[in-house]
Structure 1
């Protein structure tokens, strides 16, 4: 009797296993059929929509990393190009100065000129000087005039050493230059430096008819500078007191940026001793 019951139970288990197999098989066929028919598209689309934020975030992170690398490379290349452009501009400025110096030396046969390069500069409200790479071994002495590449007045040599010299610029308050307004009767005065401010032409009689745009040159009256060196142009005219005008001058030389100068080596007219 026990063997009979076991047989019945085994038969039931086998029947249930077969039944589950049949159910799973039928369900699989059913899913294949409805999948091909598109009935599962809403479910599939829902899954895609639910996963979309996560996949987008991953794509953004990956793209961000790649974009940052690319941006860094571009910025590095841009910096390199800017350095190269700055170098080319400096070379172009150097070439322009050399061309100007050549043209001026060819037109000024009466002046002895010695080219020199600026090697150092000290600038402030109370001092404006620079050093050049020529000195006493090149024949330089104090009080020689120094010009820019285009021939305008830059300053005067104040101290020499064997292989370099110091030049006081016309913007230095300690330097004054006898000057005149070209074509203006009685338009003589003294150009005075004022640090970073424009030059001023002082002690010009109020009767002088100086105007904005007029040219100011060295007068040569004291024998310290050759006559006729270009200083600049008048930028404004005002009356300082009852007797004299105060005239602002824009320097002809770009005193803030130059690398090449020319020293006037020609002997200057001897300054005469005053009568006793």
Structure 2
């Protein structure tokens, strides 16, 4: 007795029959399409209908590629920006150093020209810093006792007298500028030859002639030079130019002088290494002077 599946489970032709049928059908379509090109229009229509779907399916991929490319460009631009900033800083630093070297070279040339005009042995010193005292005008130089510097030696720049060495250390020294209120220097007016003493001025960058008589022949624009009477500063070094002549009292006139030295704008100075015996002897200390008087008495 043969058993057959109930009607509910009947599935039609067998799988092998269906595979054979569809294979023959596909081969037939391939032959017809290759010989008669009958399915070309159908393929075009299906491609046209499916094109929007294809584009929609490609949107996530395009967005991912665009985002990846954007992030890569941002990172690349950041790296290039950082490199450009580094190069800009390096170029700016090199430019500043070049300008500074050019300025120092020019100052050295001017100092060498000034050294040739003076017969005294000299040495070039660099300004390290200003002193902290706001009521004095002093600079610290990079030359000291080991370089032959002693207290009292004059200091000049390429334009004229800058000051005088007042303190000396083994590797550095301190110069008091002519504009310091406690500074004095014997001068003479180049035009007339009249001698006087210049004091540090009350205004920054100036010196003064305080005790000239009212009939003294001095006028604005006169050039002051060292007189050489102190035996320290060589005669004829430029000191400054008269900028104003004021009547201080009935007996004297006050002359304001702009200094020739440009100590505010230079880093290189020239120390005149005068011999120790040529320098004036320092004043005796009060205690030592009193002891000498007691011994004499």
Q: TM-score, length-normalised on structure 2? A: 0.64
1:200 paired with 2:207, answer yes
1:237 paired with 2:244, answer yes
Q: Rate the CA distance shift 1:190–1:40 in 2: closer, same or farther, 3 A.
A: farther
Equivalent position of 2:11 in the other structure: 10
Q: How many equivalent residue pairs?
A: 257
Q: Rate the CA distance shift 1:264–1:4 in 2: closer, same or farther, 3 A.
A: closer
Corresponding residue to 2:225 among 217, 228, 234 = 217
SS in 2 for 1:11: coil
RMSD: 4.5
Equivalent position of 1:261 in the other structure: 270
1:33 paired with 2:44, answer yes
Q: Rate the CA distance shift 1:139–1:65 in 2: closer, same or farther, 3 A.
A: closer
Shift in Å, 1:98: 3.0
Which structure 2 segments of 5+ residues have no match? 20-24, 30-38, 282-297
Equivalent position of 1:85 in the other structure: 95
1:101 paired with 2:102, answer no
Shift in Å, 1:228: 1.9
Matches within 5 A, 1:81-160: 81-108=91-118, 111-118=119-126, 120-124=128-132, 125-127=134-136, 128-135=138-145, 139-148=148-157, 150=158, 152-160=160-168
Q: TM-score, length-normalised on structure 1? A: 0.67
Q: Rate the CA distance shift 1:47–1:263 in 2: closer, same or farther, 3 A.
A: farther
Shift in Å, 1:71: 1.2
Q: Rate the CA distance shift 1:43–1:11 in 2: closer, same or farther, 3 A.
A: closer
Equivalent position of 1:274 in the other structure: none
2:179–2:199 contact (8 Å) kept in structure 1: no
Q: 1: CA distance between counterparts of 2:76 and 2:270?
A: 52
Q: Rate the CA distance shift 1:131–1:56 in 2: closer, same or farther, 3 A.
A: same
Equivalent position of 2:293 in the other structure: none
Equivalent position of 2:286 in the other structure: none
1:117–1:132 contact (8 Å) kept in structure 2: yes
Q: 2: CA distance between counterparts of 1:32 and 1:244?
A: 115
Which structure 1 segments of 5+ residues have no match? 272-276
Equivalent position of 1:65 in the other structure: 75
SS in 2 for 1:102: helix
